Every structure is written in structure tokens, then in C-alpha cells.
Amino acid sequence: MAKKLYVGGIPYSTTEENLRAAFAQAGAVESVKIITDKFTGRSRGFAFVEMSGDEDAKKAIEMWNGKEFEGRTIVVNEARPLEPRPPRQNGGGYQG
């Protein structure tokens, strides 16, 4: 079963291809998604990497957590499930 990892502290210039190549050293990579700002399209400095299995994910965490990647020290751990957020007051939009 695939295991999703959170990867934080990546340089803004990192590409999904570079991240995939780095994590492929630990095992089979299912997917890579760098999270971007929805307005500017610029990287927000973190990503999610989905490894093909628990062993590959464990190896990737051991290999990369606290290590340097493209000049920055990154954080790698198991991704937490998305928690539901309370609804926004007044629809969340500008009420000017």
C-alpha cells in the first residue's frame, strides 16, 4: 500500500522531477506534488511524495529527514490526514 510523506523546507526552485529522482534512491515513487500558492503559482516550500510501500517510505525518511537537499535542510515524515476545518463565517469573502 502506498505511503504518503510530507517533505518540508525544500527550496522554492526545486522541481518535482528533482524530488522524484532524490526519493527514488530510497525506493519506488508513486507520485510527487509540490504545493504552490494558488495566486502566484510559486512553490510554498513543501511537497508530498507518495512511496509505493511502507518499507520504501521508512527508508526515505531515514535517508532524507534532517539532511541537506539542494542547499537546504529538509524535514521528511509521514503525512498526517487532512483534518476537517470549521466552516468560514459569512462565507469567508470580503464583506466591504
Residue 29, CA atoms < 13 Å, CB-side half-sphere: 18
% of the chain residues with pLDDT over 70: 92
Q: What is the pLDDT of residues 68-92, one digit of tens each?
A: 999 999 999 999 887 887 777 765 5
Average pLDDT over residues 33-42: 95
Q: DSSP strand E in the chain: where?
A: 3-8, 29-36, 43-51, 68-69, 72-73, 75-78
The overall average pLDDT reported for the chain is: 91
Contact 77, 65 (CB under 8 A): yes
Domain 3-80 carries which CATH code?
A: 3.30.70.330
Q: Where in the chain are the domains?
A: 3-80
pLDDT digits over 39-53, tens only?
999 999 999 999 999
- How big is the CA angle at 24 (ends 36 and 19), to the nearest 5 degrees? 25
* Sequence-ordered list of residues with C-beta below 8 angstroms from that of 14, at least 6 positions apart, any chain: 34, 43, 47, 69, 70
Between 62 and 94, name the one with better pLDDT: 62
